[in-house]
């Protein structure tokens, strides 16, 4: 009977990740239905996270920024990084 506690703990550790996944899916299904706004129902789409947006034709498209201010900030940041790279290359060359 001494093996019951360690076996139970090992079993719980082996099942921890799948149990957490099921718990998160159940929570999402119960409390977050219809709030995602993406047109997909349920959290079965959690497996596709990080792969861009889905177009109606089934192809994957990455999200493009639509705000002009964001685009301008990114251009300024790129120029700043280009200047840093040029300065670092100049210092390493001398």
pLDDT higher than 70, residue 63: no
Residue 83's pLDDT is 94
- Rounded to the nearest integer, the mean pLDDT of the chain is 75
Measured CA to CA, the distance from residue 11 to residue 15 in angstroms comes to 6
Residue 65's pLDDT is 56
Segments making up each domain of the chain, as ranges: 1-32, 65-94
Comparing CA positions, the residue from 15, 66, 32, 57 lying closest to residue 45 is 32
Tell me if the pTM is above 0.85: no
Q: pLDDT over 70 for what percent of the chain?
A: 64
pLDDT higher than 70, residue 70: yes
Residue 82's pLDDT is 95
């Amino acid at each position: 009977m001494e093996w019951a506690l360690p076996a139970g703990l090992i079993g719980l550790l082996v099942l921890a990740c799948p149990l957490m996944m099921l718990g998160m899916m159940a929570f999402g299904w119960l409390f977050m239905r219809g709030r995602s706004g993406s047109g997909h129902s349920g959290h079965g789409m959690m497996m596709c996270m990080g792969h861009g947006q889905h177009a109606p034709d089934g192809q994957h498209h990455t999200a493009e920024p639509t705000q002009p201010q964001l685009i301008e900030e990114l251009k300024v940041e790129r120029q700043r990084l280009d200047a840093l790279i040029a300065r670092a290359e100049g210092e390493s060359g001398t």
